[in-house]
Structure 1
Amino acid sequence: MPSQHDAPLRPEDPRKIGPYALTGRLGEGGQGVVYLAEDREGRAVAVKVLKGGPIASPKARGRFIKEAGAASRVEAPQVARVLDAKVTAERPYLVSEYVRGRTLQEEVAESGPLKGPELHKIALRCAVGLAAIHRAQVVHRDLKPGNVVLGPRGAKIIDFGVARFLDGRTPQTTHPLGTPAYMSPEQVEDLHIGPESDVFAWGATVVYAATGRPPFGAGPTAAVMRRITDREPELGALRGNLRGLVVRCLDKEPAARPTAPEIVRFLRAEARPAAPAARPKSVPRYRSRMIIALVVVSTLGFVCGMLF
């Protein structure tokens, strides 16, 4: 889902799906179309409808069912929550929370790269969301700036279109799935995909947020994939400890990358203000006067002894 800005419905679009009245288009991908809609109470929601409807292939329906199951497992303020799903309907659909705001991709493209506390806050919220996704035994597999919406309550991860379970219920694909610029080397080479792949995508997403471009550049898909597997990332203006963390996340070897909870702990520690230096204990005023008096008396006694 590339954008949270709605566009008008097209003539071929349905006007209603289940009990939801469609009011606009939010985005379109290979698997489905996402609509802005209203529920029975008039609340805004996002409704993803499987392309093809009644004539969708069993494979496409299977993927849609998988997406609904994966998204429904995750409960976290940093991840758009699933509200409803009808995967066996003539037009299968998935209803999720509508997050009003620009995607991270739109924000950076329109307003420039992020830095300082703003960059740190978005990086942390995405990492917390990713940790919740992995805790639910799900791998997102398509984390990218276009799937992070900057809502009024902070960044939220959206779209589980190519997600898979970690419990072995979802078979591996026969070709790489995801967005090339944010794929991990193991995705490019169609190897086993685990949480480490999402961590790689998190690092690539942070690079985009900080520099305005993905770490392995743009261009033809084959060229981007070759850079991901063979070249070091370009981190541009990314500096400090966050740069070091991102370098670890973009390691070619999955086992060398930190886990999402480790990223969260690191970023929270970075955000914690340093403890102020301990101030020397002050001597109470009455004690300081006594000490001065004793010193004076001792000194006078010594002088008198010398004179007499």
Structure 2
Amino acid sequence: MPPLRGTGANPEAEHPEYAGHYRLEACLGAGGMGVVHLARSTSGLQLAVKVVHRHYSADPEFRARFRQEVGAARRVSGAFTASVVDADPDAARPWMATLYVPGPTLSDQVKRNGPMAPAELRRLTAGLAEALRDIHRAGVIHRDLKPSNVLLSDSGPKVIDFGISRPYDSDLRTETGKLIGSPPYMAPEQFQRPREVGPAADVFALGAVLVHAATGRGPFDSDSPYIVAYQVVHDEADLAGVPTDLAPLIGQCLAKDPAERPTPDDIMAALRPPSYDAAAFIPSQRRPGAVEAPAVSGPRIATGADADTHAGAGAAARGRKATASGGGKRRWLAAAAALLVMGAGGVWAAGVVGDSGGSGESDGSGESGESGGTAAAFAPWRTPLPTSGSSTPVCSSAGGAGEEASGPSAALYCA
């Protein structure tokens, strides 16, 4: 996400300049537990550094939770999360540095651009399922998967913020009477049996996140967190607006019974074949397969045979037009006429300039005319030039002096 460089009063008036030996450059965002800053390592690597609020630093229970967050984030660092670079949970102000991931959160993306297109949603579903698979394989339950904890990078979604996650084998449990999480994305068991929460709770949250991505709202929607909690436990999810091909799968993720929800592996199997061709998350991202046209270093003289010998690139060849000005065209024609005079026996064989950037001419078979391997098999058309005494032939384009020659059948006429 982009740095937030605001002015005016800041609730965290004692913002530090350093976390360990990392100089904090800008504020990326703030939450209930701390502030995330942009920083750089000694080598210049961009980092996101989370620094705990000062009033939590003196709380032993919070320090224990932050230490657990650091441990969980380190266990799952990989392709689908922001890798931990450094941390000090025992510092006066505990902090943790992870790799900075450029790209908006899913929450910001939907807020700015509206619901995702079906292809984007399919790719998001596959990416988050892969992320949860790796998180659960590491023995960690996230417990707070929501749109603001999903970063959309050009390589796919990244799951961040393991502030309330816990390993399966953790002795640190939720205290009786305490609910930790974000109600619209919490599973029913997080309200009813918080000590028994397992990996299936993350799958429920995934379903709610996907509904938000598809519609701009959650499957359980209310201004009151208490009403949302009731809806999560008792009401059916609202899937209106979710693409029909994904609605059954997302509905299964939102099942009330954890045993009825699919696993991340089940979700990925349901999405086969893979969605490699889905559109990129970020609008400015280059589309796969987009290749810029190579620069042409000189004039291209095309013949009627060009349409056959270069059929694979027909669309590009037919759309190319000469861009030279009238004066430039005259200089070009004069140069062509000079070459014609120099030709043996007054014979001109038209070729095609190679796309490889070299100065050789193509023999029509895709190989250079100097290679000798297939040059003998190529028979170019020939036009004897009319001569009258010592006069020099005058050449013009097929379209006449005032028109541009273009397309696969453009030619020169000399008289």
- Could you state the TM-score of these two structures normalised by the residue count of structure 1? 0.83
Contact 2:56/2:62, CA 8 A, preserved across alignment = no
TM-superposed CA distance for 1:270, in Å, is 6.3
Partner of 2:2: 5
Larger helix proportion, structure 1 or 2? 1
User: What letter corresponds to residue 113 of structure 1 in structure 2?
Assistant: P
The separation in 2 between residues aligned to 1:179 and 1:54, in whole angstroms, is 20
TM-superposed CA distance for 1:88, in Å, is 1.3
Does 1:233 find its partner at 2:237?
A: yes
Query: Could you say if the C-alpha distance between residues 24 and 248 of structure 1 is closer, same or farther in structure 2, counting changes exceeding 3 Å?
Result: same
The separation in 2 between residues aligned to 1:50 and 1:142, in whole angstroms, is 18
Partner of 1:28: 30
Partner of 1:292: none
Partner of 1:158: 160
Residues 36-64 of structure 1, C-alpha deviation per residue, up to 9 Å, x if partnerless?
11111222101111222784200110010
The separation in 2 between residues aligned to 1:56 and 1:271, in whole angstroms, is 48
Residue of 195, 207, 219 corresponding to 1:203: 207
Q: Which moved more, 1:247-256 or 1:21-30?
A: 21-30
Contact 1:54/1:90, CA 8 A, preserved across alignment = no
Partner of 2:192: 189
Contact 2:57/2:63, CA 8 A, preserved across alignment = no
Superposition pairs of residues 265-284 of structure 1, within 5 angstroms: 265-269=269-273, 271=275
The separation in 2 between residues aligned to 1:199 and 1:129, in whole angstroms, is 11
SS at match of 2:246: helix
Residue of 81, 86, 98 corresponding to 1:79: 81
User: What letter corresponds to residue 189 of structure 1 in structure 2?
Assistant: Q
Query: Could you say if the C-alpha distance between residues 218 and 97 of structure 1 is closer, same or farther in structure 2, counting changes exceeding 3 Å?
Result: farther
Residue of 87, 90, 101 corresponding to 1:88: 90
SS at match of 1:22: strand
Moved over 6 A (4+): none
Superposition pairs of residues 1-308 of structure 1, within 5 angstroms: 4-8=1-5, 10=10, 11-52=13-54, 55-174=57-176, 175-191=178-194, 192-269=196-273, 271=275
Aligned sequence identity (%): 41
SS at match of 2:271: helix
The separation in 2 between residues aligned to 1:186 and 1:199, in whole angstroms, is 12
SS at match of 2:32: coil
Contact 1:31/1:60, CA 8 A, preserved across alignment = no
Query: Could you say if the C-alpha distance between residues 55 and 101 of structure 1 is closer, same or farther in structure 2, counting changes exceeding 3 Å?
Result: closer
- Could you state the TM-score of these two structures normalised by the residue count of structure 2? 0.62
Contact 1:124/1:268, CA 8 A, preserved across alignment = no
The separation in 2 between residues aligned to 1:55 and 1:159, in whole angstroms, is 18
The separation in 2 between residues aligned to 1:154 and 1:55, in whole angstroms, is 34
SS at match of 2:272: helix
The separation in 2 between residues aligned to 1:64 and 1:263, in whole angstroms, is 31
Structure ranking higher on relative contact order (CA contacts 8 Å, 6+ apart): 1
RMSD of aligned residue pairs (Cα, Å): 1.8
Contact 1:149/1:156, CA 8 A, preserved across alignment = yes
SS at match of 1:248: helix
Contact 1:49/1:91, CA 8 A, preserved across alignment = yes
Residues 159-180 of structure 1, C-alpha deviation per residue, up to 9 Å, x if partnerless?
1011011124332333111111
User: What letter corresponds to residue 51 of structure 1 in structure 2?
Assistant: H
Contact 1:75/1:132, CA 8 A, preserved across alignment = no
Query: Could you say if the C-alpha distance between residues 164 and 99 of structure 1 is closer, same or farther in structure 2, counting changes exceeding 3 Å?
Result: same
Contact 1:32/1:51, CA 8 A, preserved across alignment = yes
User: What letter corresponds to residue 235 of structure 1 in structure 2?
Assistant: L
Query: Could you say if the C-alpha distance between residues 119 and 54 of structure 1 is closer, same or farther in structure 2, counting changes exceeding 3 Å?
Result: closer
User: What letter corresponds to residue 85 of structure 2 in structure 1?
Assistant: L
Higher-Rg member (1/2): 2
